[in-house]
Amino acid sequence: MKKPLVSIITPSFNQGVWLEQAIKSVLGQTYASIEYIIIDGGSTDGSKEIIEKYANQLTYWQSKPDGGQANALNIGFKHCKGELIAYLNADDAFDTKAVEGIINAYEVNQEFGIYYGLCRTIDAHGNELEGLKGDQTRFTDLAGKGMLPYMYQPTCFFNRVYLQREDFVNESYNYAFDYDLILSVAQNKSVLFLNREIASYRVHNNSKSNLHKIEAYKEKLSIQEAYSTSDFLKIKWKRFKLALAQKTGKIVNGKAAL
């Protein structure tokens, strides 16, 4: 019996210090029916040479200038044929049995929009910062409170049937396109949490989420406004606090410390 095909996309730009670990974590999966696509934005740090080492194991790859991370994901998406689609950033990594665990759940019930699991947070050197986190959630909580600590992007596998969009992610967002993607699926279909390790999420000084915390938080609020009309006043209050905090400098992790 033919096993479901899983498509995995890695967008990358000058992440060579971690890229090979990400690649190995995909190619080393215990589940075999995987197509792997790498979209590199024309890196100048040796990333292309790393990718070329594994070229014969990739379904598609390119290394040339693109329109950024969201655009890279959409380029990769056009090459995907899998029933489930995931993306692993070049600085993150999968657990060896991640895809096997996801597929086991998918084969039992294919009616979920997203399959996801536990994620650990690591630093630039791979040291654990936070242990495994994740839990079952639903659209109303995701829209009102955000993804964390319930759902971490590297653990998410999207059911192709319920990706009712021409592009994988909305390129009008630079930072929170993953949040928009998740909400767009979860508003119509239930999501399934698996109580098992799926991925490691890396936090480091040069990550987009670390360098642009305020901009990322503003995008998150914009997305919440679009999906969570019942929390309209709460979101407006958050925007007001952020604007005031920017004037006073009272900001912690991109949020107003007021």
103, 220: one domain: no
Output the average pLDDT for the chain.
90
54, 160: one domain: yes
Binning pLDDT at 50, 70 and 90, where does residue 238 land?
low
Pairing type for strands 84-87 and 6-12 reads: parallel
Q: Does the pLDDT of residue 110 top 90, yes or no?
A: yes
Contacting residues for 187 by C-beta, under 8 A, at least 6 apart: 139, 143, 227
Binning pLDDT at 50, 70 and 90, where does residue 257 land?
very low
156, 232: one domain: no
- Exposure of 233 by Cβ count < 10 A (0-12 exposed, 13-18 middle, 19+ buried)? exposed
154, 234: one domain: no
Q: Hey, what amino acid is at 169?
A: V
- The answer to whether position 139 is within a domain reads yes
Percentage of the residues of the chain whose pLDDT score is greater than 70: 86
Which residue would you say has higher pLDDT here, 253 or 48? 48
236, 120: one domain: no
Cα 227 to Cα 145: distance, rounded to the nearest angstrom: 12
184, 199: one domain: yes
Residues 135-163: what's their mean pLDDT? 96
Per-residue pLDDT reduced to its tens digit, 44-86: 999 999 999 999 999 999 999 999 999 999 999 999 999 999 9
179, 215: one domain: no
83, 48: one domain: yes
Residues 222-244: what's their mean pLDDT? 67
Rg of the chain in Å (alpha carbons): 18
Question: For residue 39, what is the domain's CATH number?
Answer: 3.90.550.10
How far separated are the first and last CA of the chain, in Å rounded? Answer: 58
Is the previous residue joined to 149 through a cis bond, with omega within 30 degrees of 0? Answer: yes
How many domains is the chain built from? 2
- The answer to whether position 223 is within a domain reads yes
Query: Can you list the alpha helix ranges (DSSP code H) found in 151-231?
Result: 177-186, 208-211, 213-227
Per-residue pLDDT reduced to its tens digit, 170-222: 999 999 999 999 999 999 999 999 999 999 999 988 777 666 788 888 899 88
10, 42: one domain: yes
pTM: 0.90
105, 122: one domain: yes
Domain encompassing residue 244: 211-256
Q: Does the pLDDT of residue 248 top 80, yes or no?
A: no
187, 223: one domain: no
62, 99: one domain: yes
Q: Which of 205, 224, 246 is the last residue of a domain?
A: 205
- The answer to whether position 1 is within a domain reads no
pLDDT confidence of residue 139: 96
Beta strands per DSSP E along the chain: 6-12, 34-40, 60-63, 84-87, 93-94, 114-122, 128-133, 157-159, 191-202, 251-252, 255-256
